[in-house]
Amino acid sequence: MYFLNFWRTISAARFAEVYNTVEAALLNDCHLVYSLAPIFSFIGPASPIRLDDESVIRLATDADFAEITMRAPGIMNGMDQVKWIVETESRISGATGVGVPSDLERLEDILTAIRLTVDGGAHCKFLFATRKGDLSAASAALLPSTQVGSPSEITSEKSVTSLVDLFKNLRSKKPLALGFALRRFNQAFERTQIEDRLVDLVIVLESLLVRDGNQGEVAYKFRMRTAAMLGDGESLGVCPRIHL
């Protein structure tokens, strides 16, 4: 029994030593990931738009295009139409590698904020990520293009402020219903047929205005709440305040 307890003690100590070493590596062996996403169909100001500590929308430079071309030359078609770019710097665990899922979510929130701020079809065709100062590890993700032809123009101080505020709100924890609505909202920009785009947008409104649709009368609730939201509510005899 003495030897068994001694062996258990040694095993536990060895496990703790190995576990603590791995845990320390996961927590401390981090690197800075540098991501670039050129924005198509977008007109911005001459000065950078600082969205938060990690992301900024700025004018693209020759150095940006040279870096992307060096690592992913096959995705540079149509880059002569691009003048603005999304730049993101994020710190991730060294064990994660240079992936783009977290940056993709952030980029989606940026595009959503642009589309909610102004009209137009701003979009990114790809997201390029690499370790800061080290081109030996890089990745590129292809993204769906928008079918809305007009550009999104954010040049006034008011539109820039609205964009930043919307982005910060989108980065906060979103309710499930709002997350679904935003996904369908963005999918509408990818539709080639106008009627398909309209269906997506109606679904967005329905998911926001008729969250109690499982209780029946969806069409009636949708019509009444939409009318209350668009009107003053007095002629309809209903309260225009709708809790989303």
pLDDT band, residue 29 (cuts 50/70/90): low
Give the integer Cα–Cα distance in Å for 212 and 230.
Answer: 20
126-131/30-39 β-pairing: antiparallel
Give ∠ CA 207-213-215 in degrees, rounded to 5. 165
pLDDT band, residue 136 (cuts 50/70/90): low
> Who wins on pLDDT, 215 or 166?
166
- Residue-averaged pLDDT of the chain: 76
- 90-93 LR contacts (CB < 8 Å, sep 24+): 90/32, 90/33, 90/35, 90/54, 91/30, 91/31, 91/32, 91/33, 92/30, 92/31, 92/33, 93/26, 93/27, 93/29, 93/30
Q: What is the pLDDT of residue 158?
A: 95
The answer to whether residues 124 and 144 touch, using CB atoms and an 8 Å cutoff, is no
- Among candidate residues 90, 122, 94, 84, the one with its CA nearest the CA of residue 103: 90
pLDDT band, residue 243 (cuts 50/70/90): very low
pLDDT band, residue 42 (cuts 50/70/90): very high
Give the integer Cα–Cα distance in Å for 136 and 71.
Answer: 9
pLDDT band, residue 78 (cuts 50/70/90): low
pLDDT surpassing 60 at residue 101: no
The amino acid at 13: A
> Who wins on pLDDT, 59 or 204?
59
211 three-state secondary structure: coil
